[in-house]
Structure 1
Amino acid sequence: MDAERVVVIGCGYVGLTTGACLARLGHDVTCCDVDGDKIAKLARGEVEIREPDLDELVSEGVAAGSLRFTRDSARAVAAAEIVFLCLPTPMGADGAADLSAVETVADEVRELLPRGAVVVTKSTVPVGTAMRLTRLLGREDVAVVSNPEFLREGFAVQDFLHPARVVVGAEEQQAAERVASLYDPLDARAVLIDPVSAELVKYAANGFLATKLSYVNDLAELCERTGGDIDVVTEGMKRDHRVAPSFLSAGPGWGGSCLPKDTAALLHTADSAGVGFPLLCAAVRANTHHQARVVRKVVDCCGGDVSGSRIGLLGLTFKAGTGDLRDSPALAVARMLSDLGARLRGYDPTCAERSEVERTRCVADPYLAAEDADVVVLLTDWAEFAVLDWAKVAEVMRAPVLVDARNQLDPRALTREGMTWRGTGRTLR
């Protein structure tokens, strides 16, 4: 593998992980961002993103001189061999991905790119983006390659350095091989395909995972109606080698920075192509339904009306191990409860310094969230909730009732501590 001069434009979650990991693999990397304060902190090795091992990788790269940070993207691009676009592609009002940031940067770098450079889209972009950028750049001597990221929050560094697959999509074989060679030190075979298929892979994967989660939550509702136990059912499913064991945990619905945005973009693409995609449409509707089911359980526990009731929320991020609040199902539940007149106090280990999130007053510890509460709802399965003093929680509550939306806790142990427990797809036997 020959070391490449790589420029990463965008120092968000994907960009910073990509830059730091490519530097670890031996490449000369410059990361660019318009946020001067962020760049200054990163240049000192200070990482504000909550992600295991990322701060160590950044510090290591900065100290070794293989990783640099700058706001001067023009100067960096002019010396680049490969340029990664790691820019936000938020969901627009119609569900389509907003490519304005990507197109703006492409326009800015068009005349700066050296002859023979390769532009790589790393962020999740809709079908046809590679072709669109090729036209926008208008440079026959510059190739555009799609190299979608498959990074799970909380495992981003691990996923980058130990990938299940590396997908590279390009019309030009030489450009595809050049991007694929960046990953040569890794134990992963690069799949070289056309750019349209590469752009579809990420959406296809996330659409499938969203559907799988909605399916499991539908099963959980069926278990509640029939007396089954969703944990037992899914354990049986996992023993079938044809059913992958991940994404089989019932909960308060799915969310985060990827699944809602990517399912919406995939449905928009399908609609534009005249494809109905009824299965994915149903999965999205089911997700809203299961968030509302959590709310109905809380309402039932309050005697049919939560107006004026004090509700404690444990966990606000979309999943444990991350500080990401984007499209969190916990916050969707909070909004619905607030709309019904509930007074909310919430605790999350990543939100201790906030005063309020989505009409939820943030407090410094879980016992404060439970204090004088009529119901406590466990919405994000942080490990610390499993070791709380639940007898103390029951003691400080007005009514010791827990809605365990993640099935994180042992209902019998909670009962012994004086709590009334209500789970997801399970009944106390």
Structure 2
Amino acid sequence: MRVTVIGTGYVGLVTGVCLAEIGHEVVCLDIDEKKITALQQGFSSIYEPGLEEVMQRNQMENRLSFTGDYTVGCKEAEVIIIAVGTPSNPDGSANLSFIKDAAENIAVNMKRNHTIIVTKSTVPVGTNQRIKQWIAGRLPLSLDFEIASNPEFLREGSAIEDTFQTDRIIIGTDSEVAAKKLMNLYEPINAPVLLTSIQSAEMIKYASNAFLATKISFINEIANLCEKLGADIGEVAAGMGMDKRIGPLFLQAGIGYGGSCFPKDTSALVQISGEVEHRFDLLESVINVNSRQQVKLVQKALAHFGSIKNKKAAVLGLSFKPNTDDIREAASLEVIEKLLQQQVDIVVYDPVAIQSVRSIFGDRISYASSVEEAVRKKDMAFIITEWEEIKTSQLENLVREMNDPVIFDGRNCFDLRETEKVKMDYISIGRRPVLNRSAKIPII
């Protein structure tokens, strides 16, 4: 099947590469000329394990190509997938300007009758109908088209696996022709398909992300309560997760969620609710809890030391989660900013996200090329992202490099029994502090 994917960001590129991998003839289109040039040369525009290898293979086998020309991308396509960004406006609503630009360019350049226009971008309920109007307003009367909503559920860092081993494929459309065509498109993936109305498909994406964000904020609030009551959040979460109605996923206490989806989609859903005069109290609380949780470690440091002015700190992990270079809404940015306000001397380390952070903070902070270099001669270390190389670090080696070691672990990377064997203070989330360096008990 001839498929065009508009937008080569995270969702668009992964979608295009994976559709080519299952045998379709795919053109990925983007108006960013530098990005297209790099993709044509076989260089992925995003960091995603395994993606570049699969992309290059499909380019060599002539199933995948890249262009910045809408005429080339749209004229022969049977299915056109819109996967452009929908960033947040200042009020939290979704900015649909890129969606509208894509729709109007499709209308001008589409030449095939009964082309199916699929929205994979996360958009508010009702957007697909607006897309239909935008296209119809510019399309020649001799052509007809169908629309469908096909939300994605990809996790950064495991997107290829999520594509081929997905829990479900959602197809929202009022057209039987479009439904059958899209079921054929995804047939090689062999996943359950749910056919819905367009509006339901649009809502499923928002509802799914809002629920997962709620689960994260809930377990973090339980963790904060555990600290005050002497319970252990690891044990509590394990006991909760054994209940089939709850399940173990997204019950890892930490310093909150970030990335391109949860913060944007929760804010957008609150805004959508307000537009129909429904106050989403629960989701507003989820957002507020997450905002507070992201700076929890700095509060713990202030409580532990009294003052952290002029102290030296290592910040370990900068991306919002492991196996990605994405720092959008990452807790690390909030932590760094708060530490700078306290006049802390900061060195940061991340396997892949250093340059992105450097573009924000410049020479206000320093940058290390390894965990060991980052912690050397530091008074404290903050673990922000649970990269494997951080989780598997030998604590003895880390603290040996530090001045008078205190570790604030925002992801509970280490077993408390192991931390008790090392001369350091170890303070995590929802668990008792281990104070082998001093007798001072932090008050949180």
> Above 0.5 in TM-score?
yes
For 2:26, give the aligned amino acid.
V
Q: Is 1:306 aligned to residue 308 of structure 2?
A: yes
Structure 1 residues 67-76 or 256-265, which shifts more? Answer: 67-76
The residue that corresponds to 1:189 in the other structure is 192
The residue that corresponds to 1:375 in the other structure is 380
- CA-atom RMSD, angstroms? 1.6
What CA distance in whole angstroms lies between the structure 1 residues aligned with 2:101 and 2:78?
A: 20
Query: Which residues of 2 match residues 289-368 of structure 1 at below 5 A?
Result: 289-301=292-304, 303-352=305-354, 356=358, 357-358=360-361, 359-368=364-373
Q: Is 1:408 aligned to residue 405 of structure 2?
A: no
Structure 1 residue 103: Cα displacement: 0.3
The residue that corresponds to 1:255 in the other structure is 258
The residue that corresponds to 1:116 in the other structure is 114
For 2:19, give the aligned amino acid.
L
What CA distance in whole angstroms lies between the structure 2 residues aligned with 1:417 and 1:179?
A: 57
Conserved 8 A contact 2:74-2:106: yes
The residue that corresponds to 1:137 in the other structure is 135
Query: Which residues of 2 match residues 211-250 of structure 1 at below 5 A?
Result: 211-250=214-253
Structure 1 residue 164: Cα displacement: 0.5
Conserved 8 A contact 1:402-1:422: yes
Structure 1 residue 387: Cα displacement: 2.7
Deviations 1:112-132 (A, max 9, x none): 212211111111111111000
The residue that corresponds to 1:90 in the other structure is 87
Structure 1 residue 295: Cα displacement: 1.4
Residue number among 28, 51, 55 corresponding to 2:52 in the alignment: 55
> Please, what TM-score do these two structures have when normalized by structure 2?
0.92
The residue that corresponds to 2:63 in the other structure is 66
Deviations 1:13-51 (A, max 9, x none): 111111111111211111111222322222232224221
3-state SS, counterpart of residue 416 of structure 1: coil
What CA distance in whole angstroms lies between the structure 1 residues aligned with 2:351 and 2:72?
A: 40
Q: Is 1:396 aligned to residue 398 of structure 2?
A: no
Deviations 1:269-327 (A, max 9, x none): 001011111111111111112123221101123x2222222221111110111111110
Structure 1 residues 174-183 or 409-418, which shifts more? Answer: 409-418
For 1:375, give the aligned amino acid.
M
Structure 1 residue 392: Cα displacement: 3.1
For 1:146, give the aligned amino acid.
S
3-state SS, counterpart of residue 126 of structure 1: coil
3-state SS, counterpart of residue 168 of structure 1: strand
Distance change (3 Å), C-alpha of 1:189 and 1:364: same
Deviations 1:137-183 (A, max 9, x none): 11571111110111000111111111101001112222122122210
Distance change (3 Å), C-alpha of 1:171 and 1:360: farther
Percent identical pairs in the alignment equals 37
For 1:158, give the aligned amino acid.
E
The residue that corresponds to 1:15 in the other structure is 12
3-state SS, counterpart of residue 28 of structure 2: strand
The residue that corresponds to 1:386 in the other structure is 391
What CA distance in whole angstroms lies between the structure 2 residues aligned with 1:420 and 1:207?
A: 36
For 1:34, give the aligned amino acid.
I
Structure 1 residues 284-293 or 199-208, which shifts more? Answer: 284-293
Conserved 8 A contact 2:318-2:354: no
> Please, what TM-score do these two structures have when normalized by structure 1?
0.95
Structure 2 unaligned regions, length at least 5: 435-444
The residue that corresponds to 1:75 in the other structure is 72
The residue that corresponds to 2:213 in the other structure is 210
What CA distance in whole angstroms lies between the structure 1 residues aligned with 2:218 and 2:182?
A: 37
What CA distance in whole angstroms lies between the structure 2 residues aligned with 1:90 and 1:307?
A: 36
3-state SS, counterpart of residue 119 of structure 1: strand
For 1:314, give the aligned amino acid.
L
What CA distance in whole angstroms lies between the structure 1 residues aligned with 2:380 and 2:188?
A: 52
3-state SS, counterpart of residue 8 of structure 1: strand
Conserved 8 A contact 1:351-1:362: no
